[in-house]
Chains A and B, each alone.
Chain A
């Protein structure tokens, strides 16, 4: 089975800190995604990547950046954390034309204080 691993289950950071959320998948998938999930708002796409060094903005990219230096790793960066970025962050991957057949990581619950 594909495994998508997120480095932290829970994080607490201070306003203004730079935050790195790491995601690693072990099935050589081309496509990787970062979502945030908030009550009443559902899953919202932040950034995605179809290949190494490639990145595309999702629906809510403001305040975030990403890095994909290796195929298996997709990092989400909060340049200067703010309280409105408190959320559950979910990484997902899928291979080739398997659009929609995502495998999600277990999520990182980030609290910015």
Chain B
């Protein structure tokens, strides 16, 4: 099983809708999780950390499910500007972290 897996999408979602996607991880001892956002031809930028108790920042909610070993990202009231690729980061790899390959999100007007 790969260390970090994401559905590549694309997820095509109408503006204003709620969208959620998951990221599964294989290292059960994992402590640190993050979501990054990457726009086309740009560098990844940290979106939010994922805490055991969940984390909410405006329209974005990140949650951790240790029993099933996945993290999730929920976007409410989606905007056109939310169109991007969303990368999850979980422990694994040479430096202790592995990036998922990303989920491509397209918000349609």
Contact = CB atoms under 8 A, between A and B. Distances in A.
* Contact size range, B: 20 to 34
B93 A59 contact: yes
B49 A101 contact: yes
B79 to A, nearest CB: 23
Given A48-B95, A59-B93, A100-B97, A43 B44 contact: yes
B70 interface: no
A102 interface: yes
Interface in B1-44: 32-34, 42-44
Interface stretch (A12-20, A66-74, A76-84, A104-112): A104-112
A97 to B, nearest CB: 10
Contact of A99 (B32, B45, B87, B100): B32
A104 B44 CA distance: 7
A77 to B, nearest CB: 18
B49 to A, nearest CB: 7
A42 B102 contact: yes
A11 to B, nearest CB: 15
Nearest to B94: A58
Contacts of B87: 42-43
Contact of A58 (B33, B42, B93, B101): B93
A100 B34 contact: yes
Interface in A26-69: 33, 35, 40-43, 45, 48, 56-59
B43 A45 contact: no
Interface centre among B93, B99, B100, B102 (most CB of A within 10 A): B99
A42 B97 contact: no
B68 to A, nearest CB: 21
Contacts of B95: 33, 45, 48, 56, 58
Nearest to B100: A42
Interface of B: 32-34, 42-46, 49, 87, 89, 93-97, 99-102
